Amino acid sequence: MAHFKLQLSHAGGPGKKLDLRTPLLPASVLIFVVCLLHITRNISVAYFGVWAATAALAVIITLRTPYHNKMRDSALALLVAVYFYVVLTSFYWSQDYGEPVTGIARLIFIAPALIGMIYTLNGRTFPTYYTIWLGFGVLVALSLPAQFVFGAVSWFVESTERAGTSRYGSLAGSATVFGNLVGGLIFIALVRKGNFVLGATITVIILVGALASFQKAAFASAVIGLASALVASKLRFSAIASLAIAFAVASGLLFSLSDDYTKGILLGYFENMLGTGDVTQASDVTFVESMISRWAHFPEIALRFFGLESLLTGVGVFGGSGSLGYPDYPHTHNLVFETLLVFGAILGSAIMLAVIYLSWISGLIIVGVHNYEHNDLMAAGIFLNLLLPTIFAGALFYHPVSGSMFICSALYLAFSLAKRPKAGASGGPSVWPRLGVRMR
């Protein structure tokens, strides 16, 4: 297998060549794909055997990688330390809240994928990960409207109903999960290098899937994704207008082909979401009411249940509620409070500070304040578009689909920042390193 050299060069000095071989990339990609296909566990228990094999592969990657250095080994040590702390905390609180094994299994489910990324992620391989994730996202988007035509898929998450609307699960899990993915998928489709028409087509598919999910989060995520893609790629107005027209035509066609019952559901849902419908008949809340509840009401209920003292150490996996297998416990529907409940005040605050810092850097990259490489731009856009919709949802750090790609983008940003030359180190201002890949 070919080996690659990554050349880091920056203003004021010659580039430094680092031998960054990635012969273990296929193994890491396989682990990532298995992680994304977590819902297939509902087809056969054989999936868990496959997952166990990927966990063994992750160990092999760690032991055999030619890519060991302090930065990556430190990332692995930090990951293990975080898991170790939550496991210990979970067992400590198990006397009050029950068995912690289910939650621990869900928490560490994405660990093999993360370990593979730690030792294979670089400027050459990062596009492989987000391209695979985009392809998976297209399948997820198609799986939602398809169920309105062919019926619910038996091995997906069981469909639910809100405001008279059937909401189907998807290949990614629940409809809520897909809603949180929409912005990141749109950003990749429109900002990635390649044919714009293909990217626009993928975007329309994602938007149709968002429409079929009947998720307010999906619409908010779509707006964020489109806005960030517009700023990052400096798309012309004509391109955005063409995209809007294509989506309108596709949505109008689907609406016209729907029966009267489905049309009524669609209209009623949007009226309820916007707060313009008959409040005596609505069974859903408006977007604003939902945000208020997720910022104040739901966290208050959870804190009353677990107790304020629980914030100091955290209650481990029990703080994740249904996201980690404990649906009987109140869910915060809030990423900040969920993080504090699961990881505790000290570790949770450190995690949130790191997230805030990377968010700030990502924002600067997207608006063009910093010099950056295309991979930096992609990582920044994916990071923000996965983070913002989940602030009022949670479960970001451990969901197989959203969590794996979120941490992948965070790792890439962190690795890129670590290689950034210090201000004044070469007699000039601090700049982003230029990553150039040479094949030999």
For the segment 197-213, what is each residue's pLDDT rounded down to a tens digit? 899 899 989 998 998 88
- Asked if residues 438 and 7 have their Cβ atoms less than 8 Å apart, the reply is yes
Residues ≥6 apart with Cβ < 8 Å to 440: 2, 3, 4, 5
Do the bridges between strand 165-167 and strand 4-10 make them parallel or antiparallel, or are there none, so unpaired?
unpaired
**Chain centroid offset of residue 333 CA:** 16
Do the bridges between strand 13-19 and strand 165-167 make them parallel or antiparallel, or are there none, so unpaired?
unpaired
Whole domain around residue 407: which residue ranges?
136-421
Q: Which residues of the chain have pLDDT under 50?
A: 1-20, 277-283, 423-440
Which among 382, 310, 417 is positioned nearest to 89, based on CA atoms?
310
Which among 206, 215, 211 is positioned nearest to 187, based on CA atoms?
206
Q: What is the rounded CA–CA span in Å between residue 192 and residue 316?
A: 38
Q: What is the rounded CA–CA span in Å between residue 47 and residue 108?
A: 16
- Asked if residues 428 and 12 have their Cβ atoms less than 8 Å apart, the reply is yes
Angle at 374 between CA 368 and CA 378, to 5 degrees: 85
Q: pLDDT digit string (tens) for 276-296?
A: 544 444 445 566 667 677 777
78 is written with which tokens? Answer: 């930090």
Distances (CA, A) of 215 to 177, 259, 280, 287, 403: 10, 21, 21, 10, 19
pLDDT at 279: 42
pLDDT at 17: 43
Total domains present in the chain = 1
| CA dihedral for 55, 59, 65, 68, sign (positive or negative) | positive
- Asked if residues 393 and 176 have their Cβ atoms less than 8 Å apart, the reply is yes
In a domain, 298, yes or no: yes
**Chain centroid offset of residue 374 CA:** 19
In a domain, 199, yes or no: yes
Q: What is the largest CA-CA distance in the chain?
A: 70
Residues ≥6 apart with Cβ < 8 Å to 367: 231
Tally of CA atoms within 13 A in the half-sphere of 104 that contains its CB: 17
Q: What is the rounded CA–CA span in Å between residue 288 and residue 1?
A: 54
In a domain, 146, yes or no: yes
In a domain, 8, yes or no: no
In a domain, 417, yes or no: yes
In a domain, 386, yes or no: yes
Q: What is the rounded CA–CA span in Å between residue 422 and residue 430?
A: 6
In a domain, 62, yes or no: no
Q: What is the rounded CA–CA span in Å between residue 123 and residue 217?
A: 31
Q: What is this structure's pTM?
A: 0.84
In a domain, 430, yes or no: no
pLDDT at 224: 92
Residue 253 burial (CB count, 10 A): 11
